[in-house]
């Protein structure tokens, strides 16, 4: 038996006590990663211009994050290292040309884009993965002035340079052991100093062939490195792949030694080998750029694989075949699909669209029909936030309309956070809706998100089964509050969400009802009973400082009168009454309205924890 007592002074207030049982509609969308790459190289997505002042750059980034959040994304892949430079305050590498217009010049006034992007993403309940290019030092030499402390100036002996028809590019030499240590050190510095959710590498390892530049890929540029550091390899291709493997392992191990919860993943080229799976044709990762993602998986050195599957259904680079192959090969690690939103603007030689209007939405639907594909990442953000190519934002908004968390990685151990404290709700007259508020739990460290789950009020649910009967996470945020408008009664619980999408126990339920019109004045309902066993007693009580008439009436959740409880004059003193169970069948939402002295102000009663 559970008993709820409220002892309320009546002379000054209208009091509403709500009695309820939590209930829900069981529609839970599975977790999935919904990501977008924000490319900073060549100012593709952000900053719009390196000449913009910091406040304009901040506003542009906030606008992009707002649109991505509204569209339903839950993860950002933010490029912070494009050519051994930094869009953050690095002790190792100079400020990026793409941020300030002059490599090595700090922004003025000084600010840190990575720190800002992390805080703004987390505020919106979105993960932030720092995206680094591990090897690239210059896409094209001579495009801009290089800072005196850039790695190409300090350590020219670490470089491999490649000449095309009209330009020269360079990368750090993957076969040099000092390069491996340096990349791991740069990455570890970010993990140590920034609250990132993940570290992300893209597909630039050894260089791609470029027929337009008459460039056939790496040939003998690393022959001397192979002679000095071959580690017993006799096949230079195997050695090159092992160089990448060693770098990936060193970066992974450095991350996990500092913050084991930080995810590490790579976005390789979408074809591992030509004719794998059968019928697939095209350039390959294994023999073209000497990257072997299957080796990283076999060694357990990545948490997720995000292959760049930038093709349509059908043909020699069939999206269906490739995505299913990658999902199978990724095994127990997570596989997310990298998808080419930008191709919606491209044309075939005959002038027809390269991608149909429904290609990307159809790929999202296909991914969801295959549970081993755990999410989708769009290249790139600007095609969604700035151009809305072929209505892609609208079609993604439709498919991402119900918020979800990224899937939990079972091999990453994270202690569950404590539940939010002191959940409550208030009527916001200016916005004409309800605000749910809570406090960050005690003894919590690191970033926390909050997932707000909504229920209807049609049938009871035991407290321990709340989340499994939830109607999905109605909102995910990094701030301790949520605003909503309601046309029908609803109950809410909130969880804290730590790293790796690990959730706390839910808070006690908050049930909110639309305003009840009582007499000529709209009044708000108060906090309900947490959970009521059938047959338990409900007592309501009040205290009068002076002799007064008290009217108490029972209402249903939709504001209909369910019976007059009392309407009489009481002397000074305290009174306790028991509710007749016949008046509350099914334990649905009910509330008692008490009025005394003609005063109709609301006193908000908070349930004790």
pLDDT, mean of each 10-residue run, the chain (609 residues):
34 34 48 98 98 98 98 98 98 98 98 98 98 98 97 98 95 98 98 98 97 94 98 98 98 98 98 98 97 98 98 98 98 98 92 93 97 98 89 94 96 96 80 88 92 71 62 88 81 93 90 54 41 53 81 64 84 81 53 65 32
Answer for the pair 322, 309: CB distance below 8 angstroms, yes or no: yes
- For residue 240, the model assigns a pLDDT of 98
Q: Scan for tokens 């090595």, then name that residue.
A: 104
C-alpha–C-alpha distance, residues 180 and 565, integer Å:
78
Read off the tokens for 393. 């934002």
Question: Residue 279: left if φ>0, alpha if ψ -120 to 50, beta else—which one?
Answer: left
Residues 6+ apart with CB under 8 A from 224: none
Cis geometry, peptide bond prior to residue 109 (ω within 30 degrees of 0) = yes
Residues 6+ apart with CB under 8 A from 181: 250
Fold match flag (7-20+513-596 vs 421-508): yes
CATH number assigned to the domain covering 7-20+513-596:
2.60.40
Quick one: which H or E segment has residue 297?
Answer: helix 293-298
Name the residue ranges covered by the structural domains of the chain.
Answer: 7-20+513-596, 35-136+177-206+236-399, 421-508
Gyration radius from the chain CA atoms: 30
C-alpha–C-alpha distance, residues 60 and 33, integer Å:
24
C-alpha–C-alpha distance, residues 22 and 117, integer Å:
38
Alpha carbon 505 to chain centroid, angstroms: 20
- For residue 585, the model assigns a pLDDT of 53
Q: Scan for tokens 């939709």, then name that residue.
A: 558
The DSSP-derived string for 156-208 is GGGEEEEE-SS-EEEEE-TT-HHHHHHHHHHHHHHHHHS--SEEEE-S-SSPP
Read off the tokens for 248. 């990936």
- For residue 600, the model assigns a pLDDT of 41
Query: Long-range contact list for 438-447, CB < 8 A, 24+ apart?
Result: 438/480, 438/481, 438/494, 438/507, 439/480, 440/480, 441/417, 441/496, 441/504, 442/418, 443/418, 444/417, 444/418, 444/496, 446/195, 446/498, 446/499, 447/122, 447/195, 447/197, 447/478, 447/498, 447/499
C-alpha–C-alpha distance, residues 512 and 15, integer Å:
15
The residues pairing with 593 across neighbouring beta strands, listed in sequence order, are 16, 553
C-alpha–C-alpha distance, residues 521 and 515, integer Å:
10
Answer for the pair 322, 307: CB distance below 8 angstroms, yes or no: yes
C-alpha–C-alpha distance, residues 420 and 444, integer Å:
10
Answer for the pair 90, 159: CB distance below 8 angstroms, yes or no: no
Answer for the pair 281, 275: CB distance below 8 angstroms, yes or no: yes
Query: Strand 490-497 relative to strand 449-455: parallel, antiparallel, unpaired?
Result: antiparallel
For 35-136+177-206+236-399, which CATH superfamily applies?
Glycosidases (3.20.20.80)
The CATH number, out of the four listed (1.20.140, 3.50.50, 2.60.40, 1.20.1250), of the domain defined by the range 421-508:
2.60.40
- For residue 199, the model assigns a pLDDT of 99
Q: Scan for tokens 């990224």, then name that residue.
A: 406
3-state helix, strand, coil in the chain (%, to 5): 25, 25, 45
């Amino acid at each position: 038996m559970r008993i709820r007592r409220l002892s309320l002074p009546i002379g000054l207030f209208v009091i509403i006590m709500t009695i309820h049982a939590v209930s829900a509609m069981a529609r839970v969308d599975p977790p999935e990663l919904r990501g977008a790459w924000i490319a900073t190289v060549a100012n593709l997505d952000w900053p719009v211009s390196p000449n913009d002042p910091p406040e304009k750059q901040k506003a542009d980034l906030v606008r992009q994050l707002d649109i991505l959040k509204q569209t339903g994304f839950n993860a950002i892949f933010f490029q912070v290292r494009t050519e051994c430079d930094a869009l953050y305050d690095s002790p190792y590498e100079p400020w990026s040309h793409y941020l300030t217009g002059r490599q090595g010049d700090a922004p003025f006034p000084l600010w840190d884009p990575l720190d800002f992007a992390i805080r703004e993403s987390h505020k919106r309940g979105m993960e932030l993965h720092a995206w680094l290019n591990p090897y690239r030092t210059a896409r094209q030499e001579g495009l801009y002035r290089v800072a005196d402390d850039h790695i190409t100036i300090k350590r020219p002996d670490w470089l491999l340079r490649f000449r095309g028809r009209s330009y020269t590019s360079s990368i750090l030499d993957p076969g040099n052991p000092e390069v491996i240590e340096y990349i791991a050190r740069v990455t570890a510095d970010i993990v140590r100093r920034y609250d990132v959710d993940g570290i992300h590498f893209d597909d630039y390892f050894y260089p791609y062939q470029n027929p337009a530049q008459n460039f056939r890929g790496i040939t003998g540029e690393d022959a001397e490195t192979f002679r000095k550091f071959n580690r017993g390899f006799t096949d230079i291709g195997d050695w090159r792949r092992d160089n990448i493997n060693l770098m990936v392992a060193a970066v992974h191990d450095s991350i996990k030694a500092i913050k084991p919860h930080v995810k590490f993943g790579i976005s390789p080229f979408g074809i591992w080998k030509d004719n794998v799976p059968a019928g697939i044709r095209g350039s390959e990762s294994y023999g073209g750029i000497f990257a072997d993602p299957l080796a990283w998986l076999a060694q357990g050195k990545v948490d997720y694989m995000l292959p760049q599957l930038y093709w349509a259904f059908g043909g020699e680079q069939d999206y269906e075949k490739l995505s299913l192959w990658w999902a199978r090969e990724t095994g127990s690690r997570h596989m997310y699909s990298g998808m080419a939103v930008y191709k919606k603007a491209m044309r075939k030689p005959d002038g027809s669209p390269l991608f149909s209007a429904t290609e990307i939405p159809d790929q999202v639907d296909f991914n969801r029909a295959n549970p081993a594909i755990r999410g989708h990442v769009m290249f790139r953000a600007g095609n969604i936030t700035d151009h809305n190519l072929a209505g892609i934002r609208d079609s993604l908004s439709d498919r991402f309309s119900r918020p979800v968390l990224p899937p939990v990685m079972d091999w990453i151990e994270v202690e569950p956070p404590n539940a939010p404290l002191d959940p409550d709700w208030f009527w916001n007259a200016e916005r004409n809706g309800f605000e749910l508020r809570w406090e960050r739990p005690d003894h919590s460290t690191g970033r926390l998100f909050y997932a707000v789950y909504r229920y209807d009020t049609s049938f009871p649910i035991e407290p321990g089964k709340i989340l499994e009967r939830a109607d999905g996470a109605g909102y995910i945020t990094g701030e301790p509050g949520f605003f909503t408008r309601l046309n029908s009664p609803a109950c809410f619980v909130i969880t804290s969400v730590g790293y790796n999408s690990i959730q706390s126990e839910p808070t006690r339920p908050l049930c909110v009802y639309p305003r009840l019109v009582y007499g000529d004045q709209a009044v708000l309902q108060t906090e309900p009973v947490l959970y009521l066993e059938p047959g338990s007693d409900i007592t309501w009580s009040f205290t009068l400082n002076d002799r007064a008439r008290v009217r108490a009436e029972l209402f249903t959740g939709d504001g209909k009168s369910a019976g007059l409880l009392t309407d009489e004059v009481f002397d000074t003193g305290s009174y306790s009454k028991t509710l007749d169970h016949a008046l509350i069948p099914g334990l649905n939402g009910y509330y008692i309205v008490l009025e005394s002295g003609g005063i109709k102000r609301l006193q908000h009663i908070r349930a004790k924890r």
